[in-house]
């Protein structure tokens, strides 16, 4: 994670002139206008340079990078081994791992189970206490004392209170009770604590705890007595205002549960935008492998794919990249409350997301080759047709000449052979031949009958390969094939000589 030597480029920089562009489409237009012709070579070489580096990093896991400009791939020096040794980058099993998750869970769950049981008990009690049909608190009945005790009776019927005499001191702060430090009961577990240790659960918040559909807006669902006053009035006041007295333990359990449901249910805007952005990236990544072979094929004038389809796909891709751009910009600009404790990190996070989106765009934009225009494509198609026909003619010519030569070295009896429709049957690259008309591959059987000697047959096949390799400019392959051909010839003459002698 050490910072890369090249600084992180923000936005849509043109990789050649480093001008900044607002949107993907603008950059695309600029790229095609300004750099499509004259700088292609430069771009290719630079791209080659980086592609190769990328391949290196990705090792064998990545595929589908087409061979880039070969000029850069050659290491001018041969006196020393390059630092990159492909044999070290073969598949390697993941190292040993050891799994502790189960042991961890066993210990944790034993503890958590206890919490869960306790919390559920509390929630059931809370639900009953909040029952609208239950007797209401004293205050709502205009302070009628009998009703108050009715309510107490109702509470006690749901939660068994610890008898006053059973506890000499507060269970929380351990201070002993006296006239000044009076006993209070937790309405949820029935435990005894002092006033200082009491927590007050807001009733609206309590509604939300038992029913998550209830919305609750506020800082905290709990109130804490700030003064140490124990006057019955103020105390009654707080409870009367719609609060329920509970102990610290119960508060902890309720809060824990609330946080966990909260996290499950609420997604901040950032997360929503982010998920959308990743979705667009995923979609684009799925489309790219469909699009690239289309451009390749169309830009050499082949008719394998429809131009319109490719254009539609391209528009779709550009729209997706645009969306990634827009979403990541929105993420970057998301408002952060400056007083929020996580403001700084939040900012870092938003920036990092934007940077990663920029990387994503840069990588893919350079790879997103332009389609030829519809007119250009028509021209390409025609040019290709002509070219293919020319090639076929040339091949035939060469074929005939080769046969002529072959015949001279052949046994005289093999001479009678019709020419013209003779053609190599083995082509490795079918698409090249599909366009030509008035010609079809010779069937295997008929050919065998014409060329009796399997060695001659083999030599012909190899000649065909050589031709194809030459067209594809695979020179090392050509060399290898020519070598094979020579070996075959030698062997053939040797056999002929033996036959002649015997």
**Contacted by 166, from Zn ion, other proteins, none: CB < 5 to 8 Å by type:** none
Cα atoms in the 13 Å half-sphere on the side-chain side of 133: 1
Min CB(297)–other proteins separation in Å: 27
- 394 burial via Cβ count (<10 Å: 0-12, 13-18, 19+): exposed
Should residue 132 be labelled a site residue for other proteins when binding is judged by CB under 8 A? no
The neighbouring-strand residues paired with 200 are 223, 245
329 to 348, contacts with other proteins by CB under 8 A?
Answer: 341-346, 348
Residue 42 is a binding residue for other proteins (CB under 8 A): yes
Q: At its nearest, how many Å lie between other proteins and the CB of residue 257?
A: 10
- Torsion sign across C-alpha atoms 299, 53, 59, 321: negative
Binding flags for other proteins, 349-368, as an x/- string (CB under 8 A): x--xx-xx--xx--------
Residues 455, 411 contacting (CB under 8 angstroms) = no
Query: Binding to other proteins by residue 45, rule CB under 8 A?
Result: yes
> CB-wise, 198 or 350, nearer to Zn ion?
198
Rounded Cα distance, 309 and 359, in Å:
28
Nearer to Zn ion, 197 or 294 (CB): 197
| Number of residues near other proteins (by CB under 8 A) | 82
Residue 449 touches other proteins, criterion: CB under 8 A: no
250 binds, among Zn ion, other proteins, none (CB under 5 to 8 A by kind): Zn ion
State the residues that interact with Zn ion by CB under 5 A. 14, 16-17, 170, 172-173, 186, 188-189, 191, 194, 197, 247, 250
Segment (H or E) for 199: strand 199-202
Long-range contacts of 130-134 (CB under 8 A, 24+ apart): 130/203, 130/206, 130/207, 130/210
* Cβ atoms of residues 353 and 329 within 8 Å: no
**Among Zn ion, other proteins, none, residue 498 binds (CB under 5-8 Å by kind):** none
Closer CB to other proteins, residue 46 or residue 461? 46
Phi-psi region of 223 (alpha: psi -120 to 50; beta: other; left: phi over 0): beta
Q: Sign of the CA dihedral 173, 176, 179, 182?
A: positive
Q: Which stretch binds other proteins (CB under 8 A): 41-49, 152-160, 387-395, 484-492?
A: 41-49
The distance of Cα 220 from the centroid of its chain, to the nearest Å, equals 38
Residue whose CB is less far from other proteins, 10 or 378: 10
Interaction residues for other proteins, span 102-121 (CB under 8 A): 103-108, 111-112, 115
**Angle at which helices 454-471 and 374-409 cross, to 10°:** 150
For residue 291, what are its two tokens? 């699009």
Between residues 338 and 341, which has the closer beta carbon with respect to other proteins? Answer: 341
Taking CB under 8 A as the criterion, the residue among 22, 168, 212, 268 binding other proteins is 268
Distances (CA, A) of 392 to 167, 395, 432, 446: 106, 5, 10, 21
247 binds, among other proteins, Zn ion, none (CB under 5 to 8 A by kind): Zn ion
Binds 117: which of Zn ion, other proteins, none (CB < 5-8 Å by kind): none
Integer-rounded Cα Rg, in Å, for the chain is 41
Is residue 96 involved in binding other proteins (CB under 8 A)? yes
| Contact with other proteins (CB under 8 A) among 117, 124, 271, 398 | 271
Query: Contacting other proteins (CB under 8 A), which of 70, 94, 146, 375?
Result: 94
Binding flag, residue 52, other proteins (CB under 8 A) = yes
Other residues' Cβ atoms within 10 Å of the Cβ of residue 474: 13
Q: What are phi and psi of 363, to 5 degrees?
A: -65, -45
Contact map string, positions 54 to 73, toward other proteins, x by CB under 8 A: --xx-x-----------xx-
- Closest separation in Å from C-beta 219 to other proteins: 16
Name the residue nearer to Zn ion (CB basis): 170 or 331: 170
Helices (H), 299-373: 307-333, 343-367
Cβ distance to other proteins smaller for residue 86 or 153:
86
Shortest reach from residue 203's CB to Zn ion, in Å: 16
The strand pair at 192-193 and 184-185 is best described as antiparallel
């Amino acid at each position: 994670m050490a910072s890369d030597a090249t600084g992180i480029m923000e936005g849509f920089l043109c990789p050649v002139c480093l001008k900044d562009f607002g949107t993907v489409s603008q950059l695309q237009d600029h790229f095609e206008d300004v750099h499509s012709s004259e700088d292609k070579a430069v771009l290719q070489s630079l791209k080659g340079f980086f592609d190769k580096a990328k391949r290196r990093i990705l090792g064998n896991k990545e595929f589908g990078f087409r061979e880039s400009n070969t000029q850069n791939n050659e290491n001018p020096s041969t006196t020393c081994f390059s630092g990159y040794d492909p044999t070290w980058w073969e598949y390697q099993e993941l190292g040993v791992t050891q799994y502790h998750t189960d042991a961890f869970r066993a210990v944790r769950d034993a503890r958590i189970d206890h919490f869960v049981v306790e919390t559920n008990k509390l929630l059931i009690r809370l639900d009953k206490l909040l029952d609208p049909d239950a007797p209401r608190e004293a205050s709502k009945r205009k302070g009628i004392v009998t009703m108050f005790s009715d309510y107490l009776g109702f509470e006690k019927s749901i939660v068994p209170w610890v008898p006053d005499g059973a506890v000499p001191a507060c269970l929380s702060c351990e201070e002993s009770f006296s006239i000044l430090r009076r006993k209070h009961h937790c309405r949820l577990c029935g435990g005894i604590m002092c006033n200082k240790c009491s927590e007050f659960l807001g009733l609206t918040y309590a509604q939300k705890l038992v029913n998550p559909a209830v919305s609750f807006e506020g800082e905290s669902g709990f109130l804490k007595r700030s003064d140490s006053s124990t006057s019955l009035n103020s105390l009654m006041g707080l409870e009367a205002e719609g609060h329920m007295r509970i102990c610290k333990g119960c508060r902890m359990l309720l809060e824990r549960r609330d946080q966990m449901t909260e996290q499950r249910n609420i997604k901040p805007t950032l997360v929503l935008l982010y998920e959308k952005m990743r979705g667009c990236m995923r979609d684009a990544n799925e489309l790219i492998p469909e699009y690239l072979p289309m451009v390749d094929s169309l830009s050499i004038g082949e008719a394998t794919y429809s131009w319109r389809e490719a254009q539609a796909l391209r528009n779709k891709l550009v729209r997706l990249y645009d969306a990634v751009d827009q979403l990541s910009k929105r993420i970057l600009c998301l408002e952060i409350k400056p007083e929020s404790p996580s403001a700084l990190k939040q900012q870092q996070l938003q920036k990092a997301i934007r940077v990663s989106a920029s990387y994503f765009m840069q990588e893919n934009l350079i790879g997103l080759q332009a389609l030829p225009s519809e007119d250009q494509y028509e021209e390409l198609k025609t040019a290709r047709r002509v070219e293919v026909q020319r090639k076929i003619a040339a091949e035939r010519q060469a074929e005939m000449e080769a046969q002529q030569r072959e015949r001279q070295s052949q046994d005289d009896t093999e001479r009678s052979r019709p020419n013209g429709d003779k053609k190599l049957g083995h082509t490795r690259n079918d698409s090249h031949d599909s366009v030509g008309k008035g010609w079809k591959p010779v069937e295997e059987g008929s050919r065998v009958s014409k060329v009796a000697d399997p060695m001659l047959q083999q030599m012909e096949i190899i000649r065909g390969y050589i031709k194809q390799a030459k067209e594809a400019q695979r020179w090392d392959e050509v060399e290898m094939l020519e070598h094979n051909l020579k070996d075959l010839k030698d062997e053939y003459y040797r056999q002929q000589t033996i036959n002649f002698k015997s």
